[in-house]
Amino acid sequence: MKGIWFGVVFGLGAFVGIAQEAPAVLGESAVPSDIRRISYSEAEVSAAIEKGRIAKGRSAALSISDAGRGFMNAMASLNGPAAVTAGTGFRLAMYTPLTWVQQQASDAAKVYKPFRPEDVTDDMLRPILRIVVYPDKATDFRNQSQTSSVEHVVVRDEAKRQVVQPLSMEPFAESTQTSGGAQLHYNGLMATFDLDQVKALIATPGLDEFFVTVVGEGSKEKDFKIKNKRFKDLPGLR
């Protein structure tokens, strides 16, 4: 949940500075030694590592932002820099196993560390869809009531007849800080989903999209539509 710490505040109109965001690549959870992994070819794994090496710190995720919030904020900005926006909105970063490996290689390259095929663990190649959900954070102290931490996330079809629940959820903390010293604290979630279940959902005849539904505090909820044309950014989904 979000919390507030008050420092010296010089006025409610102070703009919020966004604190450094939690890394998309979070620590790997402890997993059994006999976990199931996808048997990618050596060429596929090497290609993912090479893409990450070239990217050098950039994200390998399929990233989805709240377009509605972005539009509202753009409209608010027309009223001047002191206008109150609606907050950042929730944001997703999604990884299939190969893009997760690519991300590890990208992060290693950023700090000039080697990352080789032998560094790829069984956990990285588990048949799961990783979804990092970033909280809806305030962009101004005055709009904090419109924002929210992340409490849950599911993958579903449009009709809500098929719902895939997460295998695991790991919270992480984020915060924003006003120029006057007030801090707002939020929680995001790192969730994992059974990749086979997600693949079965999108294999339904006539279905060319799926939804990720983020559940926030109170009655806050946001649906993200992942269209067929974006599936190419999630290799192994089909």
DSSP state of 18: E
Report the alpha-carbon distance of residue 76 to residue 83 in Å, rounded: 6
Gyration radius (Cα) of the chain, Å: 19
C-alpha distances in angstroms, 116 versus 14, 83, 103, 127, 227?
47, 49, 13, 21, 33
Question: Domain for residue 24, yes or no?
Answer: no
* 155 inside domain: yes
CA distance 120 to 25: 14
Q: Which residues contact 73 (CB under 8 A, 6 or more apart)?
A: 85, 86, 139
Q: Mean pLDDT over residues 74-79, rounded?
A: 56
Average pLDDT over residues 176-203: 87
Q: Is residue 27 part of a domain?
A: no
State the maximum Cα–Cα separation within the chain, in Å, rounded to a whole number.
59
Q: What percentage of residues in the chain have a pLDDT greater than 70?
A: 76
Q: Tell me the pLDDT tens digit for each residue of 206-236.
A: 778 999 999 999 999 999 999 999 999 999 9
Handedness of CA 119, 168, 189, 4 (dihedral sign): negative
Residue 193: domain span: 3-13+41-78+87-233
Judged against a pLDDT cut of 80, whether residue 182 lies above it is answered with no
Residue 25 resides in a domain: no
Determine the residue type at 103: Q
The Cα 91–Cα 98 span in angstroms is: 21
Q: In this predicted structure, what is the pLDDT of residue 176?
A: 81
Q: What is the pLDDT of residue 177?
A: 74
Per the structure, the count of domains in the chain is 1
Residue with tokens 């079809």: 157
Is residue 104, in this structure, part of any structural domain at all? yes
Containing 196, the helix (H) or strand (E) segment is helix 195-202
Asked whether residue 67 is assigned to any structural domain, the reply reads yes
Q: What pLDDT, in 10s, does the model give residues 126-139? A: 999 999 999 999 88
How confident is residue 187, by pLDDT bands cut at 50, 70 and 90?
Answer: very high
Average pLDDT over residues 3-20: 35
In the chain the first and final C-alpha atoms are separated, in Å, by 35
* Residue 35 counted as domain residue: no
Choose between 98 and 144: higher pLDDT: 98
Q: Give a yes or no: residue 57 inside a domain.
A: yes
The model's pTM is 0.81
- As a whole number, mean pLDDT of residues 180-184 equals 72
Reported as a single tens digit per residue, the pLDDT across 164-181 is 999 999 999 998 875 446
